[in-house]
Amino acid sequence: MPAKKKSSAKKKAPAKKAAPKKAAAKKSAAKKAPAKKKAPAKKAVARKPNAAFMKAMTPSPELAAVVGSKPMPRTEITKKLWVYIKKNNLQDPKERRMINADDNLKAVFNGKKQVSMFDMTKLVNKHLKD
């Protein structure tokens, strides 16, 4: 049986089809619609704080040991609480959203040694009076 000869011709890759030129000609011939005018940009208005957050609240004696006893808004109480936490290095170094309680904060956190920063606000709100 005779040996088959190997063909030396390489297989050609299929040719890419060219985009039809007629469609491109029609698009350029069609008139473009006029561009819509943009509305003028609105002026930046200063945000108004929510009145409920700005209402002065009186902290309980347990919370007053941390943030002070004079009435202040909840936002200010939260800021002072974070200043206390950072000053006393009470944020857990490995899991930053956990707060380790010292003696003053344990009273606020219902005796818990550690709470998340999200639970902290819920626990602090229980220590505020109108």
- pLDDT, residue 4, reads 62
CA distance 99 to 6: 77
CA distance 89 to 73: 24
- pLDDT, residue 14, reads 64
Which residues have CB under 8 Å from 49's CB, separation 6+? 75
- pLDDT, residue 18, reads 60
- pLDDT, residue 113, reads 93
Low-confidence ranges of the chain (pLDDT < 50): none
Residue whose C-alpha is closest to residue 126's, from 54, 70, 77: 77
Residue in this structure with the two tokens 């899991």, named with its chain if needed: 95
- pLDDT, residue 45, reads 75
Pick the CATH number of 55-63+71-125 from 1.10.245.10, 1.10.357.10, 1.20.1560.10, 3.40.50.800: 1.10.245.10
- pLDDT, residue 36, reads 73
- pLDDT, residue 87, reads 94
- pLDDT, residue 83, reads 94
- pLDDT, residue 72, reads 92
- pLDDT, residue 84, reads 93
- pLDDT, residue 91, reads 92
